[in-house]
Amino acid sequence: MMKKVLAAVLVTMMAATLLCACSPQKNARLARLKIGVTIYDESDTFLSEMVACFKEDAEMLADENTSVSVTVRGAEDSQRMQNDGVESFIDEGCNVLCVNLVDRTAPSAIIDMAKEHNIPVIFFNRELVAEDLMQWDRLYYVGARAKQSGKMQGELAADAIKKDSRIDRNNDGKIQYVLLSGEPGHQDAIIRTETVVSTLEEQGIRLERLSFQVANWNRAQAQNRMNQMIQQYRSDIELVLSNNDDMALGAIDAYDKSNVTETDRPCVFGIDGTAVGLEAVKEGKLAGTVYNDKEGQALSMARLALAAFSGKGMAQLDLEDGKYIYLPYYKVTAENVSQFPMTDGNADISLQTG
């Protein structure tokens, strides 16, 4: 009897030892990808949607060998705060950084920290100059070509003007327009503004610029600017070209609050295809927009994060110059708007500040 008990105890002990020996090994095989994402401003509509998609995509890349976690910080439009946030990410053990720079001309502090700790950095949406990206071989960029979006917006506007003679309301053969610009210095603001105007001209549209206003990508600021322009130009404005959907919607808000009748309102064009932007195209409030492929950018960034971490699968990503991934834009009008995802990717990204 005693022998039996002893044997049973022994077997249990051996099993326990085996179990113990087993579990740490299993843990050791589990690679932990910890991604720190920082965006310039937590209230930016396009970026909130894009990062929500990214979180989902990155977490889906986890498998039995790799666990994935994503932490997002907003930088409240301060480069200093963003640099501190990146330092915290590194202290917390992040092994890939995704950085949407506040100041795209000031990436050095972040690059230096990343290099020192050998942590790859994927910059996105706010494009740094090529020389900065060349500083180290573990730096990448994911985004879209600003020029293409400006050209597409110009083509959409030119098509509308050619199709509908009522847009030239005063019949003077010229289109009186105002332009709402994103942040000065942002590649998308500079290049979209340049290209939309040159494209319209190339398409044979005669233009007269009434005003150029900076509204920093922001809906409320655009509403303010548009209000002032409505006071000044009343029904003279025939076309509003906006560097993004949020500002285009701000312009529409201003008209909705004004006493300008429907027939005296301009045609408005945006860029992004955010959930609210697409909705406005569907309702006919926005004449058109250009889809900034947040799903494509998010998925490419997630795949790149995993490849940069694991060292596997980089070749399949087809990087330009070993560094860049650019996703194409798409034209959106009332005719094809239903083909675009009208969700905001559950834009709740449970942000931390820093």
Angle, to 10 degrees, between the axis of helix 187-202 and the axis of helix 146-163? 40
Q: Return the residue of 34, 37, 44, 330 that touches ligand BGC, per CB under 6 A.
A: 44
Q: How far is the CB of 285 from Ca ion (least distance, A)?
A: 21
Binding site for Ca ion (CB under 5 A): 168, 170, 172, 174
Cα–Cα distance measured from residue 249 to residue 280, given in angstroms and rounded to the nearest whole number? 8
247 binds, among Ca ion, ligand BGC, none (CB under 5 to 8 A by kind): none
Spatial neighbors of 264 by CB under 8 A, at least 6 apart, are: 169, 234, 235
Phi then psi for residue 36, to 5 deg, are -105, 120
DSSP letters of 183-206? STT-HHHHHHHHHHHHHHHHTT--
Choose between 239 and 275: whose C-beta lies nearer to Ca ion. Answer: 239
The sheet carrying 96-99 orders its strands as 324-327, 139-144, 121-124, 96-99, 31-39, 66-74, 352-353
Q: Which residues between 64 and 123 bind ligand BGC (CB under 6 A)?
A: none
Cα–Cα distance measured from residue 283 to residue 49, given in angstroms and rounded to the nearest whole number? 21
Of the candidate spans 3-11, 43-51, 152-160, 297-305, the one that interacts with ligand BGC by CB under 6 A turns out to be 43-51
Q: How far is the CB of 197 from Ca ion (least distance, A)?
A: 16
Q: Is 46 in the site for ligand BGC (CB under 6 A)?
A: yes
CB 156 within 8 A of CB 266: no
170 binds, among Ca ion, ligand BGC, none (CB under 5 to 8 A by kind): Ca ion
Token pair recorded at residue 279 = 């909705």
Binding pattern to ligand BGC, positions 232-271, x when CB under 6 A?
A: ------------x-x------------------------x
Q: How far is the CB of 105 from ligand BGC (least distance, A)?
A: 14
Q: Is 47 in the site for ligand BGC (CB under 6 A)?
A: yes
Q: Is 195 in the site for ligand BGC (CB under 6 A)?
A: no
Token pair recorded at residue 103 = 């100041």
Q: Is 292 in the site for ligand BGC (CB under 6 A)?
A: yes
Residues that bind ligand BGC (CB under 6 A): 44, 46-47, 125-126, 188, 217, 244, 246, 271-272, 292
